[in-house]
Amino acid sequence: MALLLTHDEVMQTVSMDDAIVAMESGFKEEGEGGALLPQRINVKAGKGWFRVGPVVLENSGWVGFKAMNLAPGHGLRYQVHLYRIESGELLSIMDAQHLTTLRTGATSAVATRRLKACKPCVVSLLGSGAEAYAQLEAMRAAGYVKSARVYSPTEANRKKLAETFRKQHGMDIVDVPSAEAAVDGSEIVLAAVKSNTTALLGQWLRPGMHVNSVGTARRDQREIDVETFTRSDVIVVDTKEGVFGEAGDAYAARDAVKQEGVSELSAVVVGKAPGRTSDKQITLFKSVGTGIQDIALAAVIYQRAKERRIGTDLGAFPYLKET
C-alpha cells in the first residue's frame, strides 16, 4: 500500500537530529559499496528544467528517485518515490521540499564532524533562505555553535533569521552588514547563497577555518570563488561528478583543482580517505546533493509516518503486472 505524504505531513515526521543520523547511515552505506548511484538526468524543459536522480541502497533494501522541475515564474517542485527492493512495492510518494532542505543541512553536519574538530565554534552564515536556516540548525543540533553571525543582502531577512534563532534556541547570534564582517574571525563558514555573483572570497579565509558551501547546483550560479578552492588544504565533496559538473563555481575552478586530491564524503566517513589532519588546515566541503541523501532520509520519513499514522493510503498503487 503506497502512502502519499504532503509537505506539511513530511514536516511532522522528522527532525534535524533524525536527518543527521540518516545521512551518517547513507554515506556509510555508500562508502562500504552498498549503494548504486547513477548520474542524474538533466533535461531542458521549456525555459526551465527537469531533473531525475535514481538510487539503490542495496544493503538497507531501499530504491527510489527524486524528481525536480523548475518552471520560471512559477517555482520549483520536488517529489520522492520510495520503493522496497525485495518486492518492488511502491511504498511512498512524498513531497520532497523539506526533505531536500533538511538533508542538505544534515550532510554538512556529517562533513563538519570530519573536517572541523572544534566544539563549539564561532560560526558565520552567508544567506537567509530556507537552506541557510537548515545549515545553521544542523550546526546547532550537532553542537558546533558557540556564537553566530549572519549576512545576507536584505537587512530585514538577516535580522529575521537572527531573531528566530535567538528566540527558538537562545543562540548568541547577530546580523552584520557585510559578508566579510561575518567571516572575519569565524571558525566555520556556512555558505548557502543561490546567486550568479560570488558571496565568499578565498582571500578572507584564515588557517584552521572550515567552509561548507551548499548554495550552487547550476552552472550559472556562483557562491565561492576559485581562490576558496585553491587555498583549501582539504577538499571534500558529496559527489565529484555532480559538484564539478553541476555547480557553477566548482565548474569554474575545475582546472585549478587537482581532482585526484579531492575526496568524496562517503570515503571519509568510512576511513578510506583522510579528513582534517592539522589544526592549521583550511578545509572545504562542497555539496550539490545526491540521491543517496534523498532516499536515506525518505526511508526514515516513511517509517515514522507509518508509525504515527500520517499520510493518505493510496491502496495497491501502481497496478501490479505479474510476470
pLDDT attached to residue 183: 98
pLDDT attached to residue 119: 80
pLDDT attached to residue 13: 97
**pLDDT level of residue 290 (50, 70, 90 thresholds):** very high
pLDDT attached to residue 1: 82
pLDDT surpasses 90 at 194: no
Q: What does the pLDDT look like over 19-33, one tens digit per residue?
A: 999 999 999 999 999
d(Cα 105, Cα 108) in Å, to the nearest integer? Answer: 5
Is there a common fold for 2-100+291-315 and 113-286? no
C-alpha cell at 68: 525536480
CATH-assigned architecture of domain 2-100+291-315:
2-Layer Sandwich (3.30)
Provide the phi-psi class of 272: left if phi over 0, else alpha when psi is between -120 and 50, else beta: alpha
- Please state, rounded to an integer, the average pLDDT across all residues of the chain: 95
Question: 113-286 adopts what CATH topology?
Answer: Rossmann fold (3.40.50)
Q: Kindly report the number of other CB atoms within 10 A of residue 201's CB atom.
A: 15
Name the percent of the chain lying above pLDDT 90: 91
d(Cα 238, Cα 242) in Å, to the nearest integer? Answer: 8
pLDDT surpasses 90 at 202: yes
**Is 238:287 a contact under the CB 8 Å cutoff?**
yes
Q: Taking the domains of the chain in order of start, what are their residue ranges?
A: 2-100+291-315, 113-286
State pTM to two decimals: 0.95
* Residue partners of 112: CB distance under 8 A and separation at least 6: 139, 142, 144, 188, 210, 212, 285
pLDDT surpasses 90 at 61: yes
Q: How many CA atoms lie within 13 A of 34 on its CB side?
A: 16
**pLDDT level of residue 170 (50, 70, 90 thresholds):** very high
pLDDT surpasses 90 at 70: yes
Q: What does the pLDDT look like over 101-134, one tens digit per residue?
A: 999 999 999 999 999 967 899 999 999 999 999 9
d(Cα 215, Cα 218) in Å, to the nearest integer? Answer: 9
pLDDT surpasses 90 at 159: yes
pLDDT attached to residue 195: 84
* Residue partners of 246: CB distance under 8 A and separation at least 6: 40, 42, 217, 218, 219, 288
DSSP string, 251-262: HHTTTTS-GGGE
Q: What does the pLDDT look like over 227-281, one tens digit per residue?
A: 999 999 999 999 999 999 989 999 999 999 988 899 999 999 999 999 999 999 9
